[in-house]
A and B are shown apart, each in its own frame.
Chain A
């Protein structure tokens, strides 16, 4: 079936270090969304990218959408303990309409 792959599965960083998670699809995505899920919580929408090559920033977070609309990344600069959680990418795959396919998520732990 359609899949969205995400790496790494888990990352443990020292507070102040940077963090990046990568998302890759075997097929072209209509758009890609990023969600954050705190431990014990529910997914919370962060951002949506639609255009090929798009880059968006939210404070210390930078989101990129690949030129071929098959990959994306989320980069956090100078992590803080409040960044702890699981970051999921999720994409709408063109052939499959209104069905959001989630990646497996990257668990971020931050040591203070």
Chain B
């Protein structure tokens, strides 16, 4: 069964450093998403991406965040200057909205900012 993959599984970085989280969505999917989940809390929407541009973003997704689809398979989330409060699990998801709104989540990247 096709699945969303994410790398790395765990990233430790120092405050102020840039990080790039990588995702490979399911190959025939058209919509891509990033979510974050602070430990023990709910899943929070960050951004959705379709047709090579951002279609929706939340208040969390400020100027420090950016997304990119650099090639036909990868979807990345960049945080330019990490803060302690960016520590969370980051999930990538994809969907084929032609058929349904069902979103397939990747296993996540745990980001720890020290």
Q: Are A and B physically bound partners?
A: yes
Asked whether, in the complex, the Cβ of A104 is within 8 Å of the Cβ of B55, the reply is: no
Tell me if A98 and B31 are in contact (CB < 8 A).
yes
> CB-CB contacts of B12-42 with A at 8 A, as 1s and 0s?
0000000000000000000101010000011
List A residues 23-75 near B (Cβ within 8 Å): 31, 33, 35, 41-45, 48
Quick one: which of B38-69 are within 8 Å of A by CB? Answer: 41-45, 48, 50, 55-56, 58-59
Q: Which of B42, B48, B106, B107 contacts A99 (CB 8 A)?
A: B48
Residues of chain B with a CB closer than 8 A to A99's CB? 45, 48, 56, 58
Report chain B residues within 8 Å CB of A19.
Answer: none
Q: Do A101 and B100 touch across chains, with their CB atoms under 8 A apart? A: no
Q: How far, in whole Å, are A1 and B59 apart by their CA atoms in the complex?
A: 10
Q: Which of B58-87 contact A (CB under 8 A)?
A: 58-59
Chain A interface extent, by class? 20 to 34
Residue of B42, B48, B104 contacting most chain A CB atoms (<10 Å): B42
Task: Count B-side interface residues using an 8 Å CB cutoff.
Answer: 24
Contact B42 A103 (CB under 8 A): yes
Nearest Cβ on chain A to B90's Cβ, whole angstroms: 11
Is B101 a contact partner of A42 (Cβ separation < 8 A)?
no
Interface pair A100/B45, CB less than 8 Å apart: yes
Other-chain residue from B58, B59, B102, B106 in contact with A45 (beta carbon distance below 8 A): B102
Cβ–Cβ < 8 Å partners of A92 in chain B: 101
- 5 interchain pairs (CB within 8 A)? A43-B91, A45-B103, A92-B101, A98-B31, A99-B56
B-side residues, CB < 8 A to A, are 31, 33, 35, 41-45, 48, 50, 55-56, 58-59, 91, 100-108
Closest 7 pairs between A and B when the two form their complex, measured CB to CB: A102-B43, A42-B105, A104-B42, A99-B56, A43-B105, A45-B102, A102-B42
